[in-house]
Amino acid sequence: MEIIRYEERFKQDFIEMNKDWIQEYFTLEAHDLEQLNDIDKLMSDGAMIYFAIENEKVLSTCMTAPIKNDTWEICKFATNKNAQGKGAGKAVFKAALDYAIKKEAKKVVFVVRGDYFKIYILVYIIYIIQSYN
């Protein structure tokens, strides 16, 4: 598995994986569609997308984007169902977090809908933070 920065050839994978993930667990909202339809603008404004790739297939993807001042958001985080448990999600999440920190983020937010996912993501974030120590 290889972690790479955004490449245009994986743009549609990013869009489809995130739509599928959101529709499976949440509701696809206008804000989601805005972000997915405005990837080029988000990228030109400083966002970065990471992909976990294996055999030219996207296993997982995660975007980080500046939202104001020194605050960044980790967003559009999705993993292919067939790739769960391989560490791909952790790897792209960490790459996105590292990128925000490198860009001098003082605060990083991760908006999650649904109580189950809030608990799951909190545990996941604690796990990621511990890997920095």
**70 and 106 Cβ atoms separated by less than 8 Å:** yes
Q: The pTM is what? A: 0.84
Instruction: Report the DSSP beta bridge partners of residue 3.
Output: 52
CA–CA separation, 77 and 61 (whole Å): 6
**47 and 72 Cβ atoms separated by less than 8 Å:** no
Q: Is the pLDDT of residue 126 over 80?
A: no
| Tens digit of each residue's pLDDT (9 = 90 or more) over 85-109 | 889 998 999 899 999 989 988 888 8
CB atoms inside a 10 Å sphere around CB 73: 21
Task: Give Cα 106 distance to the centre of its chain.
Answer: 18
Structure tokens at 105: 């983020």
Residue by residue, DSSP assigns 44-57 as: HTT-EEEEEEETTE
pLDDT of residue 116: 45
Alpha-carbon distances of 6 from 26, 63, 69, 88, rounded to whole Å: 25, 9, 23, 15
What is the overall mean pLDDT for the chain?
85
**Cα diameter, the chain:** 38
Classify residue 103 by its DSSP letter. T
Token pair 């189950």: residue: 116
